[in-house]
Structure 1
Amino acid sequence: MDLTLKSLHLVNFKNHRETRFDFDSRINCITGMNGSGKTNVLEAIYYLSFCKGYFNPQDAQNVLHGEEYFSIRGESDRGGPVAVSCAVQKGQRKRFKKDDKEYERLADHIGSFPVVIISPYDVDLIREGSEERRKFVDMVISLDDRDYLNTIIDYNRALSQRNNLLKYFWANRTMDKTQLGLWNEQLCHLGAKVYARRASFFEEFRPIFKEIQSAVSLGRDDADIHYRSQLSEGDMLPQLEAALDKEMARHHTLVGTHKDDMLMTVNGHAVKKFGSQGQQKTFLIAMKLAQFQFIKAKTGLKPLLLLDDVFDKIDDERVAYMVDLVSEQKFGQIFITDTSKERLGRVLSDIGESYNTIELTNLKSEKVEEG
């Protein structure tokens, strides 16, 4: 089933005081100079999926300067009309609605409006610490597995409680092994569930990624991903008990799935250290397209695909392949941003179908017919 965003209405969101967009059901190109707000349109669409921003998750910082609130409303089609809206008032709880019915928990919305974004900011997946890679894995799994999302929430809550206990023990020069044992038991139980689900995910996701990466790199690079976890070395409880002295000294938990990581390689070497800028970008594009295929296979829905400035620093041959790939019918609605309307026109001229262009200099929308 195709998920389609028919329109988007922004009020006081970033640099948009009040803007309405009407979209094509397939390909939408958003052009404008840097600072015109084209990436902010993708940010708003991302909000409708994850209840927070991709580029800036701090809600208050996404309110137009001088205003007290912002609102985002999307009219979509998922086998029938569906309205999704988000409202943020400074100092108040964020409100999120589907068909004007407010969610009690934001987590209950995750997965109902799937979106995949490809952006220059994705490089954090490679260059930053393991937390970024865990967030990516957890996000992809959670879109189709509500039980896993709840397990992650419970695990993080138990981890926080255990860390607070370690800090209390250190500050008061005391130890209560019975109390610590209760949190150890809960953390180990939840950690085992997280580990099993992540391991299962990598078994499914890895071959999808490798196939797409080989295609996007035109067969020039052999990239791979591997799951790394302390729990692969044995049960969590004995490792926790062995690490207790170090944990007391550092006041936080050193063993568990919150230390998991994803090893990323290209041609047998760490892509973070040895991958060129082009190899890293190709690697990340393949990761996100694999995410799209994984979500589609699990949910039966084609996520919205958001491409933010993806053609920079990629050679023309790979650009042509990417455009040809995402224009296939296995992909659904696509949103592309670029500073150059002319460049997008050249890139899309051979795909054989119409597309919509929105120029943010004057917010004029025009239909470009099949050429």
Structure 2
Amino acid sequence: MLLENLSLLFFKNYDDANISFSPHINCFIGDNGSGKTNLLDAIHYLSMTRSAFNSSDALNIKQGGEYFMVKGRFKIDDEKHTVTCSLKQGQKKTVLHNKVAYEKMSDHIGRFPVVLISPYDTDLIREGSEERRKYFDSLISQLNHTYLEQLIQYNYILKQRNSLLKQFAERRYFDRDFLHILNEQLVPLGEQLAQERMAFLETFVPVFQKHYRHISDSHEAVTLTYKSQLPGANFAQLLEQAEQKDRALQRTTVGTHKDDFVFLMDDNPVKHFGSQGQQKSYVIALKLAHFEVMSERQHHKPLLLLDDIFDRLDEKRITKLMQMVAAHTFGQIFLTDTHLERTDKILENLSEQIRRFEVKEGTVKVIG
């Protein structure tokens, strides 16, 4: 799979940009704050219909603007696909595939996969369980459309249930029958999501462990486990047992939305016992496993986005990644850096298909 070109209108710090890409390596070079990462985020948006960094779509509109548009042309085998994402202030965003709007936005997820390796990846280790659930839900959703539909439905019913619990408290009444109706809808979805997460880790963990050994050259044993109340338990019964607590807190306190993915090194939490270097190796191995599993399931390689890795990683880890580039492990690559000389030195002899772009204050142009 290739992204042949990218067009932007009023996206983040860009008024207007039109870029044609190399089929192999594309380098965005510029000072910090110039807009390099925003170009990676635009590519991410085309794939996932959302920013990798902003939770609100409206934050992607350039300051003072009324709308944004991101447009890209993909090539898979011999077929061309044009994807357009846009948002006007106060309106719903639109996503078009070959000028036709999707009936459901979720139908787009997984069609044009992307993997982003970013300095913020260690947040997966440092932050709470919500970050890890989001990451794995996004990954599994790109591979399994049924899982995505179940997740959307689960979150919708969960929102209704939480709203009802709040309503009970505000209006000082309780309708157990109504609550049970929502429970009956929530239970099978929660159980299916938990089963899918466990099944996914069975195939994912060995691939992750292989990449950790390669990237780190170390002998500590790493793994990740799924921590959930559901497997082996009766979800309906758990909801009934938590009813009083849920009413007091005005939210649902049991279910797959409370689960976690536990990152371990020698049976200890990586968050507390892993060095900074070990934590970086851990999340890079996660992303490389993400890439490999996605490639195998989708039968084409995702786009790989590398944000400021030459600044943030030590020489050993950079060398390992570049060896994988040289071995054509990856397909099309997009990377950012602040120094052209450093980029050229690291990429020397890796490919004849390298295109370099100068990024400066929201403008982008080809170098050379």
**TM bracket (short chain):** over 0.9
Pick from 28, 31, 46 the counterpart of residue 30 of structure 1.
Answer: 28
Looking at structure 1, the residues matched to 313 and 62 of structure 2 have their Cα atoms a distance apart, in angstroms, of: 33
Superposition RMSD on alpha carbons, in Å? 1.6
Instruction: Tell me the alpha carbon deviations over residues 194-231 of structure 1, each in whole angstroms, 9 at most, x when there is no partner.
Output: 11111111111111111111111123443211111001
The SS at the match of 2:246 is helix
Is 1:40 the counterpart of 2:38? The answer is yes
Q: Is the 8 A contact 2:24 2:332 kept in 1?
A: yes
> For residues 1-371 of structure 1, what are the structure 2 equivalents within 5 Å?
3-79=1-77, 80-361=79-360, 363-366=364-367
Report percent identity of matched pairs: 43
- Contact 1:216 1:286 (8 Å CA) reproduced: yes
Residues 49 and 114 of structure 1 are in contact (CA less than 8 Å); yes or no, is this contact kept in structure 2? yes
- Aligned counterparts of 1:225 and 1:352: Cα–Cα separation in 2: 35
Deviation at 1:160, TM superposition (A): 1.3
The answer (yes or no) to whether the contact 1:120–1:310 under 8 Å persists in 2 is: yes
The CA distance in 1 between the partners of 2:364 and 2:179, in whole Å, is: 59
Q: For 2:182, what is the secondary structure of its paired residue? A: helix
User: Once structures 1 and 2 are overlaid, which stretch shifts more, 338-347 or 43-52?
Assistant: 338-347
In structure 2, what is the Cα distance between the partners aligned to 1:310 and 1:81?
A: 31
Partners of 1:86 and 1:94 within 8 A in 2: yes
Q: Distance in 1 between matches of 2:263 and 2:201?
A: 12
Contact 2:311 2:337 survives alignment (8 Å): no
Deviation at 1:314, TM superposition (A): 2.4
Amino acid at match of 1:57: S
Q: Deviations over 1:267-291 (max 9, x none)?
A: 3321112222222111111111111
Taking the aligned partners of 1:258 and 1:352, their CA distance within structure 2 comes to 44
Structure 2 residue ranges without an equivalent (≥5): none
- The one-letter amino acid of 1:15's match is N
Any gaps of 5 or more consecutive residues in structure 1?
none
Instruction: Give the TM-score, by structure 2 length.
Output: 0.95
CA separation in 2, counterparts of 1:343 and 1:305? Answer: 20
Which one is further off, 317-326 or 253-262?
Answer: 317-326
| Distance verdict in 2 for CA 1:363–1:248, change over 3 Å | closer
The separation in 2 between residues aligned to 1:221 and 1:32, in whole angstroms, is 37
Distance (Å, rounded) in 2 between the aligned partners of 1:174 and 1:57: 35
Q: Secondary structure at the match of 2:310?
A: coil
Return the alpha-carbon distance in structure 2 between the equivalents of residues 103 and 41 of structure 1: 24
Partner Cα separation in structure 2 for residue 327 and residue 165 of structure 1: 56
Distance 2:173 2:269 in 1: 43
Alpha carbons 1:278, 1:313 under 8 Å: kept: no
Tell me how far 1:352 sits from its aligned partner: 4.7
Residues 276-312 of structure 1: CA distance to partner in whole angstroms, max 9, x if unpaired?
A: 2222111111111111111111111210000001123
